[in-house]
Amino acid sequence: MAIKKVWIEEGCTSCALCSDDCPEVFEMPDEAIVKEGADFAAHEDCIKEAAESCPAEVIKYE
């Protein structure tokens, strides 16, 4: 099943691992954000990798 939604809960530590792992979906201005209009289906693998490697465990998807 394709990822339809990605979000970041409170508690981001601004480590930038998500934007390193998946720059097509995540940006790091001050804290991590999900890029508007990102194609989640095309980047499922890196979204999952970013969520799994997040030390604060705040990246969620469904």
Domains contained in the chain, number: 1
CA dist 4 to 16, 44, 62, Å?
A: 23, 10, 6
Whether 33 is in a domain gets the answer: yes
Domain containing 25 equals: 6-61
Q: Which pLDDT belongs to residue 1?
A: 74
The pTM score is 0.92
| Confidence label for 42 from pLDDT (cuts 50, 70 and 90) | very high
The residue whose two tokens read 């790091």 is: 28
Domain with 55 in it: what CATH number? 3.30.70.20
In this predicted model, what pLDDT tens digit does every residue of 12-40 receive, in sequence order?
Answer: 999 999 999 999 999 999 999 999 999 99
